[in-house]
Amino acid sequence: MIAARWEHFPHQADMGVRGVGPTLAAAFEQAALAMTAIVTDLDWVAPDEAVGIRCEAPDSELLLVDWLNALILEMAARHMLFSRFEVSLDGQRLHATAWGEAVDTQKHQPAVEVKGATYTELKVVRDESGQWLAQCVVDV
């Protein structure tokens, strides 16, 4: 089995985030890591404080966008960055915990602010090897 991973892909002035994992939940976790990694080095973010997040959407693609936008909202409202995610899915309902810490500009050296997840290049699919891929472009 291939290990879960995240990656970025270029998209004009914005940035693509992609999560790959053995389950849909793992792919969503990896997409969230990819999004945080746009802002700062994940190794610089201590997973000290847990924040619960819930969302629901009519399909997996819209759920990915809602999930990433819920994280962006939590990051902005709480002035936090997250470096660990645990996602569980019940149909089209997502329940997650994100662990992170308050933004410290000296420590985290945030490069950009992620403004929102978009429908651009939105894709949530299972490939022929059984791996899940969850991707979209985020506005930076």
- What's residue 109's pLDDT? 95
The residue assigned the tokens 């309902």 is: 93
pLDDT in tens, 103-135: 999 999 998 999 999 999 999 999 999 999 999
Query: Phi, psi (5° rounding) for residue 6?
Result: -130, 160
Interatomic CA distance for residues 130 and 23, integer angstroms: 8
Put simply, whether the predicted model's pTM sits higher than 0.85 gets the answer: yes
Interatomic CA distance for residues 57 and 50, integer angstroms: 23
Q: Is the pLDDT of residue 81 over 70?
A: yes
The total of structural domains in the chain comes to 1
- What's residue 2's pLDDT? 65
pLDDT in tens, 17-63: 999 999 999 999 999 999 999 999 999 999 999 999 999 999 999 99
CATH code: domain of residue 94: 3.55.10.10
- What's residue 3's pLDDT? 79
- Show the domain range for 25: 5-139
- What's residue 28's pLDDT? 98
